[in-house]
Amino acid sequence: MQSPSPSADGRASDLPAYAVLLRTLNRELNRSTLDFAHQHGLHATDIHALSVIMDSAENPDGPATPSRLREELRLTSGAVTACLDRLERAGHISRVRDSADRRVVHLVYNPHARSLAREYFSPLARATEAARSRFSADELTTIATFLGTLNAALAAEHEGPA
């Protein structure tokens, strides 16, 4: 009844189909996170925090701080403190006072957490590589550009939706 879609896989490229694909992807990624958290006696919150701390370490916006986590994870300050206490107690991260502004705490992850993170992302990396292997270099470039564009659009949605 809809467009006959001459290309072999074309039936799955309209907006509703994209919505289902993205929702499913979100669920799969969350499930990976939960499984990994359970395996290590941590909570989903802790893993998400670790993910933010990891990405902040490599990004030019500077190292992660408790305030940053509060915004990224939509937690209250008390919850952030508790989360960081858990991660620090388990040896994954350290709190380091900024020397310039001594109110600020920098969050750095220890070598221990580095290997933990590698382990966490290993199934994801395996699945991603399996999917990537089916596409050409040009196609992978297109897909990466799309993902970047989508991320930017989502970020714009909850920063200035008006």
Partner DNA sequence: ATAATATTGCTCAATGATTGAGATAGTTTA
Partner DNA sequence: TAAACTATCTCAATCATTGAGCAATATTAT
Please pick, from the candidates 4, 61, 161, 162, the single residue that binds a second copy as defined by CB under 8 A. 161
Alpha-carbon gap, residue 10 to 7, rounded angstroms: 5
Is residue 102 close enough to count as binding a second copy by CB under 8 A?
no
Is residue 101 close enough to count as binding a second copy by CB under 8 A?
no
- Residue 88 Cβ, how far from a second copy at the closest point, in Å? 22
CB contact set of 104 (below 8 Å; sequence gap of 6+): 65, 97, 98
User: Residues 146, 70, 97, 102: is their CA dihedral positive or negative?
Assistant: positive
Alpha-carbon gap, residue 33 to 50, rounded angstroms: 11
Please pick, from the candidates 1, 100, 153, 162, the single residue that binds DNA as defined by CB under 7 A. 100
CA 161 to chain CA centroid, nearest Å: 22
- DSSP letter, residue 64: B
Tokens of 137: 């270099």
Is residue 96 close enough to count as binding a second copy by CB under 8 A?
no
- Residue 73 Cβ, how far from DNA at the closest point, in Å? 8
Binding partner of residue 160 among DNA, a second copy, none, CB cut-off 5 to 8 Å per kind:
none
Q: Which residues bind a second copy (CB under 8 A)?
A: 7, 9-10, 12-13, 15, 17-35, 38, 48, 51-52, 55, 72, 74, 121, 123-132, 134-135, 137-151, 153-158, 161
